[in-house]
């Protein structure tokens, strides 16, 4: 990989392995790199341990979304979803487990989440619809239509088994289940309100996160915290750029987006801290909570380097492609 390619690389997605010791990252060239966290975090780590242990080309186009199940790594790019076995990947064999070509032509898949209760994969992409696929059989069970423009992000509410989706059309839609699984899912859609709107950036929603009763959404409009039961925005965060990913963690809200920093915010609407990082703008943030020894946060964006934070308040080191 030449220096020019490294310069133009963007990391779009990340996912931790089920054991929590490995990180998989996908970039805009269609490659997935596997990093060993235990090697990079050990006391005798060296330059070499910050390089990937395995780097393979997964898709023709960029890898927009990565998702880990208990045994497999699912990657999605332009219209196809591939599944890789984690056991094989850890042994440095990049053999394709199964490739599912979707029967519908989805131009790009931006977000994938899993519904653990009925073991289904929920996929949202460029054709304005949300597709639900059964993981056991690989058949697409149902389609949720309603968005008028492509879908950026998906989120799942465990308790009520509801799907939240945000898209380019500026709407956040909540899809709830009825008793009969294949019936039309009815929605209640909330348009992002006036306080958060920033017309200079547009109305697209690119990040969604939920914490049972609360929802974060941001993108073109400012990042805002909503109370779902009353459907009202409770706080608007004064972050200058467009946020691309946000998560709830203990009592903080962490979000990344335009700007070379990770913002820590409190629920009340104050920005507590902005931690600087190497990429000039960030696309993805991932927290490794599965493994207590390697409890880190990793962020990636428009750079070939992925920053690793062991203490969430400062950058420890960077992994690079």
Partner 1 sequence: MSKCTWESESNHGRIHQSLEWLPQQLFHEVIRKRLLIDGDGAGDDRRINVLMKSFTKWCHSNFSPEEGFSQYQRMLTTLAQCEFSMGKTLLVYDMNLKEMENYEAIYADIERSITSAHEKIAECKKEIQRAKRIRKNRQEYDALARVIKQHPDRHETLKQLEALDKELQQLSHIKENVEDKLELRKKQFHVLLTTIQELQQTLENDEKMESDDTQESSMENGD
Residues lying near partner 1 in the complex (CB under 8 A) are found at: 214, 225, 227, 230, 232-235, 250-251, 266-269
* Closer to partner 1 by Cβ: residue 57 or 232: 232
Question: Nearest approach, Cβ of 217 to partner 1 (angstroms)?
Answer: 15
123: which 2 tokens?
Answer: 């996929």
Radius of gyration over alpha carbons of the chain, in Å? Answer: 19
155: CB partners within 8 A, 6+ apart = 113, 163, 164, 165, 166, 208, 209, 210, 215
Do 260 and 277 form a contact (C-beta atoms < 8 A)? yes
Nearest Cα to Cα of residue 299 among 288, 291, 47, 20: 288
Question: Nearest approach, Cβ of 234 to partner 1 (angstroms)?
Answer: 4
97: CB partners within 8 A, 6+ apart = 72, 82, 83, 84, 85, 88
Question: Nearest approach, Cβ of 210 to partner 1 (angstroms)?
Answer: 14
Question: Nearest approach, Cβ of 278 to partner 1 (angstroms)?
Answer: 28
* Closer to partner 1 by Cβ: residue 4 or 229: 229
* Closer to partner 1 by Cβ: residue 143 or 191: 191
Torsion of CA 299, 1, 101, 140, to 10 degrees: 0
* Closer to partner 1 by Cβ: residue 225 or 277: 225
Distance between CA 261 and CA 245 in Å, rounded?
Answer: 12
Question: Nearest approach, Cβ of 227 to partner 1 (angstroms)?
Answer: 6
* Closer to partner 1 by Cβ: residue 140 or 214: 214
């Amino acid at each position: 990989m030449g220096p020019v390619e490294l310069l133009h690389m963007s990391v779009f997605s990340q996912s931790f392995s089920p054991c929590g010791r490995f990180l998989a990252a996908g970039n805009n060239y269609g490659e997935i790199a596997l990093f060993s966290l235990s090697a990079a975090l050990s006391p005798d780590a060296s330059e070499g341990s910050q390089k990937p242990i395995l780097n393979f080309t997964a898709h023709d186009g960029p890898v927009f979304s990565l998702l880990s199940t208990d045994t497999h790594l699912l990657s999605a790019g332009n219209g196809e979803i591939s599944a890789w076995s984690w056991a094989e990947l850890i042994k440095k064999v990049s053999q394709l487990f199964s490739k599912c070509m979707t029967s519908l032509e989805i131009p790009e898949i931006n977000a994938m989440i899993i519904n653990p209760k009925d073991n289904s994969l929920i996929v949202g992409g460029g054709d304005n619809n949300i597709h639900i696929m059964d993981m056991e059989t690989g058949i697409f069970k149902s389609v949720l239509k309603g968005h008028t423009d492509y879908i950026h992000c998906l989120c799942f509410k465990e308790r009520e088994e509801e799907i939240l989706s945000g898209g380019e059309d500026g709407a956040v839609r909540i899809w709830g289940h009825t008793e009969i699984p294949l019936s039309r899912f009815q929605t209640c859609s909330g348009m992002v309100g006036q306080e958060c709107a920033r017309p200079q950036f547009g109305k697209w929603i690119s990040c969604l996160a939920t914490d049972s009763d609360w929802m974060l959404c941001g993108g073109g409009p400012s990042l805002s915290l909503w109370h779902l039961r009353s459907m009202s925005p409770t706080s608007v965060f004064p972050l200058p750029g467009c946020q691309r990913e946000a998560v709830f963690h203990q009592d903080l809200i962490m979000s990344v987006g335009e700007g070379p920093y990770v913002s820590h915010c409190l629920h009340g609407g104050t920005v507590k801290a902005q931690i600087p990082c190497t990429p000039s703008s960030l696309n993805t943030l991932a927290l490794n909570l599965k493994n207590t020894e390697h409890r880190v946060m990793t962020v990636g964006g428009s750079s070939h380097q992925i920053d690793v934070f062991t203490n969430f308040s400062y950058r420890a080191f960077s992994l690079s492609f």
